[in-house]
Amino acid sequence: MKESLRQSMALLHTWVGLLFGWLLFAMFATGTAAYFEAEITRWMQPEIVGSSDPVTAAENAVEFLGQTAPDADSWIITLPNSRSATTQLFWQPSVEEGQSYSSALLGPDGKEVTARETNGGYFLYRFHFDLHYLPVIWARYLVGVAAMFMLVAILSGVITHKKIFVDFFTLRFGKGQRSWLDAHNVTAVLALPFHLMITFTGLVTLATLYMPWGIAANYTAPQTFFESLFSSPPDVQRAGKRAPLAPVEAMMHTASSQWNGAMPGSVNVTNPGDSTATVTLGSSSEDAIGARGETLRFDGATGKLIQAGLPKGPALKTESVMIGLHAGRFAEWGLRWLYFVSGLGGTIMVGSGLVMWTAKRRTRLPDPQHPHFGFRLVERLNIAAISGLGAGIATYFLANRLLPLGMEQRADWEINSLFLAWAVIALWGAIRPVCRAWAETLAATSALFLAILPVDTITTSRGLFVSLLDHDWVYVGFDIVMLLLAAGFGYAARKAWVGKTSAEPRKPRRTLERKSA
């Protein structure tokens, strides 16, 4: 190796970051949005107003299911918390007959609500590690490789940068390539611990998929491993003896006292209405860092505690905490915003690195006005990744307001609209001159984000000003973020337009010779 260690790491950092940079940009952007998954879902279901406490919601859910599906084999109830307002119900009429689950959504008043069909923030959360239109197993392998490349890029970047402390305070505007490098360095250094944590814990969440050899060496089949790790009680057949369900409120208070005040987040009832009924309570994800919460099992007819959750070993506890750190569901408002800002910084870090790759190499080209195919391909992919994804997400929110409420497969078409807008921007960026393409696609993305507020005001009764008067801070926060994104993309479009005009060759002025009279 003729080069020094820093030079070698710089080369590794450059090419590792480029190869998966476009995918990493999408993963960072959608993963950052997922920190407000519940809030995005609430905005995308404006029919739901108010809030409810878990105990009241559980009682309303049991009453509703007792009337709707009294003989179902199981009830599954997902309770509201400080971030969500609805109670989600699922029940399976018959396991033996293979009947699928039915579902319902209860509002804060305990009555069924007919909210518009949408995947809300859940889609953005799933997309950042499952992608879309791809088989899940392929997508997760692809995401895993990208995350590993990201980890290599971070570590090699730390070795490459000699002046990390100086870079923390250096951000120069209007300096061309130097400004892109400063933006890349500042966003990288500012949240470096977060970037390391989020990348490593992201790999841990799917460790059994990426490293299955330990399981293969010790278990006959992967399913045996998961059954031993997350054992569930054996199925019990109905006795045929009717028995009312014991009050759920008492069970929830018992669980809360055993969990140091944490409230249940889910209720699972098997054989409801029978003397063999059991009730399993799971702790809420927002009350502990660990993603794999505690469980308690009660006798459904008497309400007595049958079984506490199985103790977790050190490995499972560590994995649970790492997944919890990655998802951030435990975070209160201040920490959640810190997660969001750090993730936004990571998104800018990846995007600025992609742009810097072309800015740095353009000056070295023999003919900068006519670069080779590989260079042109990277430029166009940068436009598609950065402007295209932004336009797609804005279109996803607009489609939620503009698509007919009774439309079949409405939730799927919200998602399809995202990718259609993404494809349009990518095509636009491919056929236009690159400088104009950047300015035009960024401006279009800014306009789409800006359009969300008036469209929301026209199509619903919960616009920004109404939300301010009602102190509905979820709606206010969403609208403000949309305005900030519109301003950010608009500023980028303006800078791209100024750069375009300054880069265009100027026509020589004609000199007029005055004739003497």
Between CA 18 and CA 349, with CA 132 as vertex, the angle to 5 degrees is 30
Structure-block tokens of residue 125: 């959360």
pLDDT of res. 113: 86
| Res. 408 pLDDT band, cuts 50 70 90 | very high
When pLDDT is cut at 50, 70 and 90, the band that residue 139 belongs to is very high
Beta sheet of 278-283, edge-to-edge order: 102-106, 87-92, 74-78, 264-270, 278-283, 295-299, 305-308
Nearest to 74 by CA among 85, 83, 65, 87: 65
Span 32-46, pLDDT tens digits = 999 999 999 999 999
The answer to whether residue 190 scores a pLDDT higher than 70 is yes
Contact 61/78 with Cβ under 8 angstroms?
Answer: no
Condensed to tens digits (0 to 9), the pLDDT of residues 154-164 reads: 888 888 776 65
The pLDDT, as a whole number, for residue 517 is 40
**Local confidence band at 516 (pLDDT 50, 70, 90 cut-offs):** very low
Residue 170: predicted pLDDT: 57
Write down the pLDDT at residue 225. 82
| Percent of the chain residues past pLDDT 90, beyond the cut | 49
User: Which 8-state DSSP code applies to residue 317?
Assistant: H
DSSP string, 143-157: HHHHHHHHHHHHHHH
The string of pLDDT tens digits covering residues 425-478 is 999 999 999 889 999 999 999 999 999 999 999 999 888 888 898 888 999 999
Average pLDDT score over residue span 473-501 = 88
Report how far apart, in Å, the C-alpha atoms of 333 and of each of 9, 195, 210, 329 are: 38, 20, 33, 10
- Residue 305 pLDDT more than 60? yes
Q: Does 285 have pLDDT greater than 90?
A: no
pLDDT band at 512 (very low <50, low <70, confident <90, very high): very low
pLDDT of residue 3: 61
Q: Residue 209 pLDDT more than 60?
A: yes
Crossing angle of helices 389-402 and 21-33, rounded to 10°: 40
With 0.95 as the threshold, say if the pTM is over it: no
Q: Which amino acid does the sequence have at 116?
A: R
Average pLDDT over the chain, rounded to an integer: 86
Supply the pLDDT for residue 141: 95
pLDDT grade for 199, boundaries at 50, 70 and 90: very high
* Cα of 264 vs its chain's centroid, Å: 24
In whole angstroms, give the CA distance from residue 154 to residue 130. Answer: 23
For the stretch 328-384, pLDDT in tens is: 999 999 999 999 999 999 999 899 889 888 888 877 777 777 788 888 999 999 999
pLDDT(514) > 50? no
Once rounded to an integer, what is the mean pLDDT over residues 103-110?
Answer: 88
Question: What's the confidence (pLDDT) of residue 60?
Answer: 92
Per-residue pLDDT of 221-280, as tens digits, reads 888 888 777 767 777 888 888 889 999 999 999 999 988 888 899 999 999 988 999 999
pLDDT exceeds cutoff 50 at 1? no
